[in-house]
Amino acid sequence: MAELTYISVILPLKLDWEPCYSIPEGMPAESVAVGDRVKVTFAGKAYSGVVSGVGIQPETEPSKIKAFDCLEDGLERIFPEEIELWKKVATYYMCSVGEVYKAAYPVGKINLEEAHAASIARSRARQERLLESMRLKTQRIQERLEKKQELAEKAKEGTKAKAKYIEDSKKIQEELDRATTALRDAETKAALTEYTSESIDTEAIKDVNLSEAQTEAYNHINESFNKKAPVLIQGVTGSGKTEIYIRLAREAIEKDRNVLYLVPEIALSRQLEDRLSEHFGKRLLVFHSAETASSRRATAEAIRSGRGYIVLGTRSALFLPHHDLGLIVVDEEHDSSYKQDSPAPRYNGRDTALMLSTIHRCDIIMGSATPSLEEIYNCECGRHSLVRLEERYHGTEDSDIEIIDTKAERKKRGMVGNFSRKLISHIEKALKDGGQVMILRSRRAWSSAIQCTECGDIPKCPHCNVSLSLHKAGGIDRMVCHYCGRTFRYSATCVKCNGEMKSLGAGTQRIEEEAAALFPNARIARLDSDTAQNKTYEKQTIREFGKGGIDILIGTQMLTKGFDFGGLTLVAVIAADTFLGIQDFRADEKAAQILEQFRGRCGRRGRKGLTVIQTSQPEHPVYKSLVSGEKTEGNLNLLQERKDFGFPPYTRIIEIAVRDNNEKRADLMVSVLSDRLRKSFDITGPYSPAVDKVADMHIRLIRISLKKDKRLSLHKEHLMQEIRSFEKERKYEGHMTINVDPA
Ligand code: ADP
Ligand code: ZN
């Protein structure tokens, strides 16, 4: 009897165990290895899984174990390092390995990948057909030539006919030479096409010349790398952190290693893409969710078999089939866009990058002008090395800051719509001097709510507990829910009392309209998630602004991300108060980061810039630290506060969310669960978030704060068991999500 071998398989499901299968009869056991993709049937459905163990001891009764259906030869094999990363992510973020696998290899992608593979095969076949017809043509010419030469030989010496045959032969010979050369070229090209699609390692890399300050930072970085310590580079905007990353990446590649360069958002990668490709040419691969599936597939393939690549991507690029990694760059590490909120795995790209660097034993550098408190803490306790770069490359000083009190201005009639007269004159001056302007407003749409002037009613989304925003597009007014995306007809009169409606809280659309009226000669554009729907528009706007073809760019937080625009001399924030009001222990840290980052966008080419902040709370401490420039001190104060209140990074926060379309049941379940958890954990809640109903689901939250000690992972395990058994007992599966380190 043949010896049975059992394998364990990771399935793309929320399943906290790996089912066991036997190898089908007749298939040699050696043909299955860890990382292979297999088709299996699980609970009556077919899945494509990943072999995670071979020759395992089954826990189930052997007679109950089914054979897997077949090997999926068409699908790529998974590297052991990938599985290792999935497991680390699953453990840390309290989800299943299968959920990570699903995120790394989405099914839709796999199907399109097959399509792409087929298209490669198609174009290869097309090329082969072309070559075949060229060969045939050459052969025919050859035959014609031979015939003429035969005739020429047979013809009598000195006759006209003989001269003609010789003449013709010559012509045919030339024709043959041309055809042969063309065929040879085509053959070489075909061979090269196959070759270059995988090999990029002949591409030369353009180096950078580092300034003195940059060289010093660079040397410190290398010292830390030699000690195997992750590095945090805290460098003011415009100090040339990117140049240092380029140098480090180049060196990694020259050592025959690969590089992963992470950015928090796609919008940011656009500008960087141009800059990096100038240095790395074809070695640069770009990977993010806005790329087409086939392009992502091509990138993944190039990485799987490639050498000397640098991949620029958003957090999902962490799950590419990396190998021989030499360096990971985490640009703008403080950015909360690194955190995935939904679905699981709810991971933070920066922290996952750290896990990836331990798996590959490679260097990792995180950079920011406004580092996260988490990273500052890591450096404070010596786990990571802090390298500072305080000097701007172009020698510019920090821009001046002017804080405008909008409440006071309003009293003095100093406001025109949402612009203060002071800001208007600053903008006029900046434009007159040939500079460019950016205006930040945190709300998109025309207005974030509307209200009846008679009865005070504010229309809300029937499915979400949130007011509807007013959007104006192409002369049509609509109301849109920013949470569920539903749109509603707009009526200028109140549906309840027929009163007149007024708008509350101007959004970017309205600011754009006001700016157009105030600065009629300026070229104005807008960048927010509405306009970003159109990827070409977004790309063009960023390029156009960079070239100086736009004078005023209005937008949401997108504008504050690491763009590098030489002509920008004035940045202004309208109603900065929206950044302060958030009920969250991170609010002040985030507000300070946003304002500091935005400020850093201007005055990058030797010209000193100006930052104008319009606010109704000018005395807020966030502005104080911005004006005084005491960033380090401000950070240490914030750290101390976090310590005093027992917030991260001194503790770990785990947020449990309950979602239910029945409000009573949501309340009941969350209170039963919190009573149960309170026995073993330090919990806050249950409470309702600011928006407590989204898409007909009522949301309740519990926050658990865990001490960061040796027993942390034990506590997490215990918590997981509690939640699972609660779900089972109450038959409440599918209603709860766990979020470790919520943003
Ligand atoms: P950061 O990433 O720290 O914000 P950048 O790398 O974008 O700074 O540098 C700001 C500007 O200064 C860029 O336009 C960059 O090209 C220029 N720059 C910085 N360092 C150098 C250098 N060593 N040589 C040439 N230009 C540099
Ligand atoms: Zn809604």
DSSP string, 372-432: -HHHHHHHHTTSSEEEEE-S-TT-PPPPEEEEEEHHHHHHTT-EETTEEHHHHHHHHHHHH
Mean pLDDT, all residues of the chain: 87
Q: Is the CB of 389 under 6 A from ligand 1?
A: no
Q: Which bound ligand lies closest to the C-alpha atom of 482? A: 2
Residue nearest to atom 9 of ligand 1 (CA): 240
Q: Is 241 exposed, middle or buried (0-12, 13-18, 19+ CB in 10 A)?
A: buried
Q: What is the dihedral of CA 65, 69, 71, 77, to 10 degrees?
A: -70
Residues 656, 738: contact at Cβ < 8 Å? Answer: yes
Cα separation, 609 vs 138, in Å, equals 68
Average pLDDT, stretch 146-161? 88
Using the Cα atoms of residue 637, residue 642, residue 645 and residue 650 in order, give the sign of their dihedral: negative
How long is the chain? Answer: 743
| Coil vs helix vs strand at 296 | helix
How much distance in Å is there from the Cα of 102 to the middle of ligand 2?
28
Q: Could you give the CA distance from residue 343 to residue 320 in angstroms, rounded to a whole number?
A: 18
Considering every ligand atom shown, identify the ligand nearest to the alpha carbon of residue 488 and give its number. 2
List of residues 6+ apart from 222 with CB closer than 8 A: none
Encode pLDDT of 560-591 as tens digits. 876 778 789 999 999 998 888 666 777 788 88
Question: Rounded to the nearest 5 degrees, what angle is found at the Cα of 319, between the Cα atoms of 743 and 564?
Answer: 60
The segment with the largest mean pLDDT, out of 298-312, 442-456, 652-666, 710-724, is: 652-666
Give the Å distance between the CA of 465 and the centre of ligand 2: 7
- With a pLDDT cut of 90, the percent of the chain lying above it is 54
Residue 157: CB atoms within 10 A of its CB come to: 5
Is residue 123 predicted with pLDDT exceeding 60?
A: no
Instruction: State the pLDDT at residue 624.
Output: 80
Instruction: Report how far residue 425's alpha carbon sits from residue 422's, in angstroms, rounded to the nearest whole number.
Output: 5
Q: Which of 621, 569, 581, 613 is nearest to 595 (CA)?
A: 613
Confidence of residue 2 (pLDDT cuts 50, 70, 90): very low
Q: What is the predicted pLDDT for the residue at 500? A: 93
Name the residue of 564, 599, 602 whose CB sits within 8 Å of the most ligand 1 atoms, as the mutation to test its pocket.
Answer: 564
pLDDT above 80 for 316: yes
DSSP 24: P
**Which tokens belong to 224?**
């830390």
Q: Identify the nearest ligand to the CA of 212 by its number.
A: 1
